[in-house]
Amino acid sequence: MDFTTVYYVLAGLLILVGIAGTVLPALPGLPLVFAGMLLAAWAGNFEQVGWLMLTVLGLLTLVSLGVDFLATAMGAKRVGASKLALIGAMVGTFAGLFFGPVGLFAGPFVGALAGELIHSRQFGQATKVGVGTWVGILVGTVLKLGLAFAMVALFVAAWIF
């Protein structure tokens, strides 16, 4: 049996799951995309995609991890979020997974709002922090999606040319 086809299918699945993971917080999005690309390159004996391109893709993966953290932190910092608000946003993000698309959308906001309410007990400030944190997460997600599609485009270009 030729396992090369199995490796390519697995690589494609890793890439697709990774792209979904840029939106779903429980999945390590771009690291999965990179793992899929690395597997495909390995399955092709690194003939189509070499180490230079894999290094570039690996660096973009590392950048994505920084983007995720910085976008959320900057959104929260702009509105004066407390540490409890940031913790609440993370908890709300993961809890939102259990409530489908609405939970994914509302979870970070509700978590940041709750964390800030515990910290300051001022509803106006807590709402402002919730919105700021949510906007930061949204911006980070959009940037990660952009990086994911840029990685796919670079990989396909390296494979074809």
For residue 70, what pLDDT band results from cuts at 50, 70 and 90?
confident
In this prediction, residue 106 carries a pLDDT of 86
pLDDT tops 90 at residue 25: no
Give ∠ CA 50-66-115 in degrees, rounded to 5. 150
pLDDT tops 90 at residue 38: yes
Residue 15: name the closest of 26, 7, 5 by CA: 7
pLDDT tops 90 at residue 73: no
Range from 42-51, 81-90, 114-123 that averages highest in pLDDT: 42-51
In this prediction, residue 80 carries a pLDDT of 83
Where are the domains positioned within the chain? 3-160
Task: Please give the model's pTM, rounded to 2 decimal places.
Answer: 0.80
Residue 61: name the closest of 159, 154, 160 by CA: 154
pLDDT tops 90 at residue 58: yes
For residue 1, what pLDDT band results from cuts at 50, 70 and 90?
low
Give ∠ CA 18-24-27 in degrees, rounded to 5. 50
Residue 61: name the closest of 40, 31, 35, 17 by CA: 31
For residue 148, what pLDDT band results from cuts at 50, 70 and 90?
very high
Average pLDDT of span 9-19: 96
Instruction: Return the higher-pLDDT residue of 132 and 75.
Output: 132
